[in-house]
């Protein structure tokens, strides 16, 4: 098979994985042209990634929830409520940031496990159980913020999680050296991971793509990582929000692709009955995934509160819908069993790119909602059509 024929075949057979990257490239190119390059400026890309951070964290957890054929509507107000709890601990109780963050994350895990218990043990449909949770935590958020309306957080260390950047060390030609080094390490880890995966597949006799295609893939992805690093390094470098988002992606990508737990999660999503018969504890997997979702909701609430430097009565509103949209745009299947956490991040960036580009063009908020809704509908239609073709 020739190089171009193989490339065309790979894109066709992996359109679910490659489609979102193509869509993101088209969106960025279009807005860059329409805004005379302003969209791709260092400041805008940095702000875009920061604004996508707390939704991307939620989207990672939501992807796994949808993979096991469930949904969690409570995560938005869980994030808002736990962000307010963090603000109260910091301002009214005077606790240290190093104590507040793990406590709030544990609260998130407990809430997630309770949702999982209702779904897996009691048998309540996840839509109903988490809808109840959404109402409960919306009320809880209003309750803890009603006296002041807004809880101002003046802790610089905490606020830096949403607004700060990693230290520069030294600037070289206007570029933040540490950010450049982080990007270089990221490229090296990516190449090592791909080479290791390819070597293992060859060892066990699995089919692999040809060496020229493999090299093109390595060069293309490395270029993208390098370009984004260069853009960010030309402004203030990597923000702590982006660093945390990337850490979440790396950890969850490893857990979902390289561990027994990850394989069990996808087995449950593909066919819960068959997974149960094969010895997988479906109830345990469900509770673990919901507990993970609760922890990520807590982390999202921390990032959002730190970004605003305050907790408000409206924090968390529509977060769950943005996370669900990012997960679907990122390639998760409504039928379960299919979806990658890396796709969730791309989906979140796609949605954030749409909002950023339309804001730069002065598109009205009413039209923005319509366009974003259309993109979500298109993503689900694409998923359904892809499954029909494979079936």
pLDDT more than 70, % of the chain: 93
Contacts of 184 (CB under 8 A, 6+ apart): 229
Q: Does the structure show a pLDDT above 80 at 380?
A: no
Mean pLDDT of the chain: 89
Distance, in Å, from the CA atom of 57 to the CA atom of 183, rounded to the nearest integer, reads: 20
pLDDT of residue 4: 66
In the structure, what pLDDT confidence band is assigned to residue 18 with cuts at 50, 70 and 90? low
CA atoms within 13 A on the CB side of 209: 21
In the structure, what pLDDT confidence band is assigned to residue 203 with cuts at 50, 70 and 90? confident
Could you give the angle at the alpha carbon of 268 between the alpha carbons of 264 and 273, nearest 5°? 130
Q: pTM, whole model, 2 decimals?
A: 0.91
Report residue 367 as tokens.
């039209």
Cα 112 to chain centroid, rounded: 17
User: In this predicted model, what pLDDT tens digit does every residue of 206-236 receive, in sequence order?
Assistant: 877 778 878 888 888 898 889 889 988 888 8
Query: What average pLDDT score do residues 362-375 get?
Result: 88
3-class SS of residue 311: strand
Residue with tokens 């190093």: 98
More confident residue, 279 or 149: 279
Q: Are 116 and 286 in contact (CB under 8 A)?
A: yes
Looking at the DSSP assignment, which residues form a beta bridge with residue 311? 151
Report residue 217 as tokens.
């893939």
Distance, in Å, from the CA atom of 290 to the CA atom of 282, rounded to the nearest integer, reads: 12
Distances 275 to 68, 199, 268, 281 between C-alpha atoms, Å: 11, 29, 5, 8
Domains of the chain, each with CATH number or no CATH: 3-164+239-389 (1.10.3470)
pLDDT of residue 20: 75
Q: At what angle do helices 42-67 and 211-233 cross, to 10 degrees?
A: 130
Distance, in Å, from the CA atom of 377 to the CA atom of 383, rounded to the nearest integer, reads: 10
3-class SS of residue 68: coil
pLDDT more than 90, % of the chain: 55
User: In this predicted model, what pLDDT tens digit does every residue of 246-280 receive, in sequence order?
Assistant: 999 999 999 998 899 999 999 999 999 999 999 99
Residues in the chain: 391
Contacts of 163 (CB under 8 A, 6+ apart): 50, 239, 306, 307, 309
pLDDT of residue 390: 56
Helix residue ranges, H only, 204-335: 211-233, 240-258, 260-270, 272-277, 282-308, 319-329
Distance, in Å, from the CA atom of 315 to the CA atom of 76, rounded to the nearest integer, reads: 8
Nearest CA-CA partner of 342 in 10, 21, 54: 21
Report residue 162 as tokens.
């949403």
pLDDT of residue 6: 63
Q: Does the structure show a pLDDT above 70 at 14?
A: no
Taking phi first (over 0 means left), then psi (-120 to 50 degrees means alpha), and beta for anything else, what does residue 165 get?
Answer: beta
For 293, counting Cβ atoms within 10 Å of its Cβ (0-12 exposed, 13-18 middle, 19+ buried), the class is buried
User: In this predicted model, what pLDDT tens digit does every residue of 21-75 receive, in sequence order?
Assistant: 778 888 888 999 999 989 988 889 989 999 899 999 999 999 999 999 999 999 9
């Amino acid at each position: 098979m020739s190089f171009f024929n193989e490339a065309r075949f790979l894109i066709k057979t992996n359109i679910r994985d490659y489609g979102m990257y193509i869509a993101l490239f088209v969106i960025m190119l279009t807005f860059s042209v329409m805004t005379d390059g302003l969209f791709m400026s260092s400041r805008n890309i940095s702000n875009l990634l920061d604004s996508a951070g707390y939704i991307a964290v939620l989207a990672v957890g939501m992807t796994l929830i949808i993979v096991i054929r469930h949904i969690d509507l409570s995560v938005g107000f869980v994030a808002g409520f736990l962000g307010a709890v963090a603000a109260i601990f910091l301002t009214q109780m005077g606790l240290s940031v190093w104590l507040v963050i793990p406590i709030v994350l544990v609260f998130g895990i407990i809430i997630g496990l309770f949702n999982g218990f209702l779904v897996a043990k009691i048998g309540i449909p996840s839509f109903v159980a988490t809808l109840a949770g959404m109402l409960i935590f919306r009320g809880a958020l209003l309750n803890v913020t009603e006296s002041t309306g807004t809880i101002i957080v003046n802790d610089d260390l905490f606020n830096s999680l949403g607004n700060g950047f990693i230290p520069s060390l030294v600037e070289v030609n206007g570029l933040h050296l540490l950010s450049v080094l982080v990007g270089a390490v990221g490229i090296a880890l990516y190449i090592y991971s791909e080479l290791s995966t390819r070597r293992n597949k060859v060892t066990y006799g699995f089919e692999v793509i040809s060496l020229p295609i493999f090299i093109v893939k390595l060069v293309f992805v490395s270029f993208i990582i390098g370009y984004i690093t260069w853009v960010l390094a030309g402004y203030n470098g990597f923000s702590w929000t982006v660093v945390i988002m990337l850490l979440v992606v790396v950890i969850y990508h490893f857990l979902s692709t390289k561990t027994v737990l990850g394989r069990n999660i996808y087995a449950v999503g593909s066919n819960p009955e068959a997974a149960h018969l094969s010895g997988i504890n479906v109830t345990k997997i469900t509770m673990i995934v919901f507990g993970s979702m609760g922890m990520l909701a807590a982390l999202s609430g921390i990032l959002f509160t730190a970004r605003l430097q305050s907790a408000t009565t409206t924090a968390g509103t529509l977060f769950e819908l943005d996370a669900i949209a990012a997960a679907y745009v990122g390639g998760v299947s409504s039928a379960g069993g299919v979806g990658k956490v890396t796709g969730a991040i791309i989906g979140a960036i796609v949605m954030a790119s749409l909002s950023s580009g339309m804001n730069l063009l002065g598109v009205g908020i009413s039209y923005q909602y319509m366009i974003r809704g259309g993109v979500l509908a298109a993503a689900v239609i694409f998923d359904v059509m892809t499954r029909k073709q494979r079936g």
